[in-house]
Amino acid sequence: MNELNNREKEEFRTSISFIEQFIAEDIKEGKNEGKVVTRFPPEPNGYLHIGHAKAICLDFGMAKKYKGKCNLRFDDTNPVKEDVEYIDSIKEDIRWLGFDWEEREFYASDYFGKLFDFAVELIKRGLAYVDDQPADLISAQKGSPSQPGTESPYRSRPVNENLDLFERMNKGEFDEGSRVLRVKIDMTSPNMHMRDPIIYRIIKSPHHRTGSSWMVYPMYDFAHGQSDYFEGITHSLCTLEFEVHRPLYDWFIDQLKTGDYRPRQIEFNRLNLTYTMMSKRKLLELVQEGRVAGWDDPRMPTLCGLRRRGYTPEAIKRFVDLIGYTKVEAINDVSLLEHAIREDLNMKAPRVFGVLNPLKVIIQNYPEGKVENVELVNNPEDESMGKRLVPFSNEVYIEQDDFMENPPNKFFRLAPGMEVRLKGAYIIKCTGFKKNAKSGAIEEVYCTYDPETRSGGNASDKKVKGTLHWVSAAQALNAEVRLYDRLFDHEDPSGQKDDDYRKFLNPDSLKILTGCKVEPSLAQAATLDRFQFQRLGYFCIDPDSTVSMLVFNRTVPLKDTWAKVNR
């Protein structure tokens, strides 16, 4: 209720991102007849991560808000790096987030013909030339950011010769790397991207969509802006590092355009998160080196990893909404992401009892063999989620942490002589315990219960300091629980100049608990179902889970002020 009020308050806020301000101004000025067309342009060479979610939310979000369209376009200009496997996963992840590109699934490769024709046109206009020099020479001639470049000796090659060579490059007459097509701009430009950039190179590997029909492929810089133009994109939203490319894209569009229309590129900051990294290359290394179990390892910042971890699309979108879009290179605190998932799951996740580190409690005055079904609320935040029955008997498991032989001052749990409530059942009092003489480990705890204190009963309003979750031993289901922590123990693992990011891998990022006990209602749970294990955290069923062995992933622990007091 109150949380809703908070959300409502936030929705009333008038501030919109600088990007949205630009879009709103463009609409107001009647640009593009007030239309908004955006696109999400991934390269199919890896899995999507939460940084992509930030872009997806913007691209699809702006289109939706301003009654426009958002295209999905795969920027597939480099056949050696790309694969259909990635296309499928990307589409799955975007759909999972809840966005729809309808029939507008495009590929940069759809435009290879148009792009080739445009390149030929540039040659004819004397604006492009074939360079026969090797890569290292071309690179050396480019100069450096503080040093102007020098012109290629092939720069003034006659038009006919360029035309002939370019056609023959595409027929496969020359080896990869032997020739490239460059555009003629300015080798002394302070902007490196304007120093006669390469627009076409020879690649003989087959392309996942066009097969072997092309032997030359456009560079990203030559394909991206024009693809936007071909699709009628009005607002081309991308990350900050493309800011310096914008003059080049504008140059191409100047040569291409026939009217007033041109896409407007607006750059925003990438998403960075503490204790992780977004580099696709490094994420791939983690997978290939076996440091994680795969792209969907629940410790990965990939969308499939977060999904398997138990994150909801709503929480991810909420998080993206909270961090905003600016031009500042920021590192966002993971605690905000965790806040977003807790906030969402608090409303949605049914409560259940699960004991991670079981300790048997024997209730000595409760009849042996008797089983009562006690009623528990599924979600105190949402009455419509109903109630369920949970079996109670004379032997129950509680959490090892919930018992102490010699408790400190504010320990509101079980200890010799102390009383606690077993949530939904009875108040019990500890009368003794069994301790392993060698290890000192507590093996069993003995209690008595007060029959009058059953929840809902006569003396049920009796106050005790602590309430524990529990699972009846005889009916308990066995479970494996995987506890995840941050993958790295450094806030910015990939930003350290002198240290490899692997050095900061957190050795405790995964802990597997095998002897866990959960309430019998969980037998019906399906893969990826999410629950709150009361007093512990949010958990979901892992795809590895089977009928004989339930497997849970901990999405995020509950806030724990007791643990905080103890540190």
Partner RNA sequence: UGACCCAUGGUGUAAUUGGCAACACGUCAGAUUUUGGUUCUGAAGAGUCCAGGUUCGAAACCUGGUGGGUCAACCA
Distance separating alpha carbons of residues 468 and 359, to the nearest angstrom: 12
In angstroms, what is the minimal distance from the CB of 86 to RNA? 12
Q: Output the 3-class SS for 22-62.
A: HHHHHHHCCHHHHCCEEEECCCCCCCCEHHHHHHHHHHHHH
User: What are the residues whose beta carbons fall under 8 Å from the beta carbon of 407, sequence distance 6 or more?
Assistant: 413, 415, 418
Tell which one of 88, 100, 212, 331 touches RNA (CB under 7 A): 331
User: What are the residues whose beta carbons fall under 8 Å from the beta carbon of 512, sequence distance 6 or more?
Assistant: 480, 481, 482, 483
Kindly tell me which of 77 and 553 has the beta carbon lying closer to RNA.
77
Tell which one of 210, 455, 475, 506 touches RNA (CB under 7 A): 455
Beta pairing partners, 74:
107
Question: 20: phi > 0 → left, psi -120 to 50 → alpha, else beta; which?
Answer: alpha
Residues in region 143-172 near RNA by CB under 7 A: 143-146
Q: Please check whether residue 372 is in contact with residue 332, taking contact to mean a CB–CB distance below 8 angstroms.
A: no
Kindly tell me which of 491 and 544 has the beta carbon lying closer to RNA.
491
User: What are the residues whose beta carbons fall under 8 Å from the beta carbon of 85, sequence distance 6 or more?
Assistant: none
Q: Please check whether residue 90 is in contact with residue 42, taking contact to mean a CB–CB distance below 8 angstroms.
A: yes
Does position 139 interact with RNA (CB under 7 A)? The reply is yes
Does position 451 interact with RNA (CB under 7 A)? The reply is no
| CA nearest neighbour of 394 among 416, 419, 422, 415 | 422
Catalytic site includes residue 413 = no
Kindly tell me which of 261 and 270 has the beta carbon lying closer to RNA.
270
Q: Which span (51-59, 93-101, 122-130, 448-456) binds RNA, by CB under 7 A?
A: 448-456
Question: 35, 104, 264, 280: which is the annotated catalytic residue?
Answer: 280
Tell which one of 211, 440, 456, 507 touches RNA (CB under 7 A): 456
In angstroms, what is the minimal distance from the CB of 428 to RNA? 12
In angstroms, what is the minimal distance from the CB of 420 to RNA? 9
Residues in region 94-123 near RNA by CB under 7 A: none
- Report the alpha-carbon angle 124-125-127, nearest 5: 105
What is the residue-wise DSSP string for 180-227?
Answer: EEEE-S-TT-SSGGGSS-EEEEE--SPBTTTBTS-SEEE-HHHHHHHH
Does position 6 interact with RNA (CB under 7 A)? The reply is yes
In angstroms, what is the minimal distance from the CB of 166 to RNA? 13
Residues in region 343-362 near RNA by CB under 7 A: 343, 346, 351
Kindly tell me which of 284 and 293 has the beta carbon lying closer to RNA.
284
Does position 306 interact with RNA (CB under 7 A)? The reply is no
Tell which one of 61, 127, 220, 264 touches RNA (CB under 7 A): 220
Does position 279 interact with RNA (CB under 7 A)? The reply is no
In angstroms, what is the minimal distance from the CB of 293 to RNA? 26
| CA nearest neighbour of 530 among 514, 552, 559 | 552
Q: Please check whether residue 182 is in contact with residue 199, taking contact to mean a CB–CB distance below 8 angstroms.
A: yes
Question: 35, 43, 360, 388: which is the annotated catalytic residue?
Answer: 43
Residues in region 490-519 near RNA by CB under 7 A: none
Tokens, residue 509: 């990022």
Distance separating alpha carbons of residues 54 and 506, to the nearest angstrom: 26
In single-letter form, the type of residue at position 547 comes to: V
Tell which one of 326, 365, 373, 458 touches RNA (CB under 7 A): 326
Kindly tell me which of 343 and 544 has the beta carbon lying closer to RNA.
343
Residues in region 35-94 near RNA by CB under 7 A: 43, 45, 75, 77-78, 81
In angstroms, what is the minimal distance from the CB of 272 to RNA? 8
- Report the alpha-carbon angle 371-377-379, nearest 5: 145
Beta pairing partners, 434:
444
In angstroms, what is the minimal distance from the CB of 121 to RNA? 20
Residues in region 389-428 near RNA by CB under 7 A: 410-413, 421, 423-424
Tokens, residue 75: 């920027």
Residues 218-236 as b or e (16 or more Cβ within 10 Å = b): bbbbbbbbbbbbbbebbbb
Distance separating alpha carbons of residues 273 and 255, to the nearest angstrom: 40
Under rule CB under 7 A, how many of the chain's residues touch RNA? 102
Catalytic site includes residue 535 = no
Tell which one of 11, 12, 15, 507 touches RNA (CB under 7 A): 15
Tell which one of 236, 535, 553, 556 touches RNA (CB under 7 A): 535
Residue carrying the six token digits 């977060």: 306
Tell which one of 120, 127, 163, 240 touches RNA (CB under 7 A): 240
Question: 91, 155, 270, 388: which is the annotated catalytic residue?
Answer: 270
Torsion of CA 120, 124, 129, 130, to 10 degrees: 50
In angstroms, what is the minimal distance from the CB of 237 to RNA? 14
Kindly tell me which of 295 and 319 has the beta carbon lying closer to RNA.
319
Catalytic site includes residue 43 = yes
Longest dimension (CA), the chain: 102
| CA nearest neighbour of 553 among 312, 370, 318, 309 | 309
In single-letter form, the type of residue at position 250 comes to: D
Q: Please check whether residue 143 is in contact with residue 196, taking contact to mean a CB–CB distance below 8 angstroms.
A: no
Tell which one of 8, 11, 13, 440 touches RNA (CB under 7 A): 13
x/- site string to RNA, residues 458 to 477, per CB under 7 A?
--xx-x--xx-x--------
Tokens, residue 197: 């950039």
In single-letter form, the type of residue at position 357 comes to: N
Tell which one of 207, 209, 454, 482 touches RNA (CB under 7 A): 454
In angstroms, what is the minimal distance from the CB of 444 to RNA? 21
Does position 217 interact with RNA (CB under 7 A)? The reply is yes
Does position 384 interact with RNA (CB under 7 A)? The reply is no
Tokens, residue 482: 């995987």
Kindly tell me which of 92 and 492 has the beta carbon lying closer to RNA.
492
In angstroms, what is the minimal distance from the CB of 72 to RNA? 14
Tell which one of 162, 532, 545, 553 touches RNA (CB under 7 A): 532
Q: Which residues are catalytic?
A: 43, 270, 280
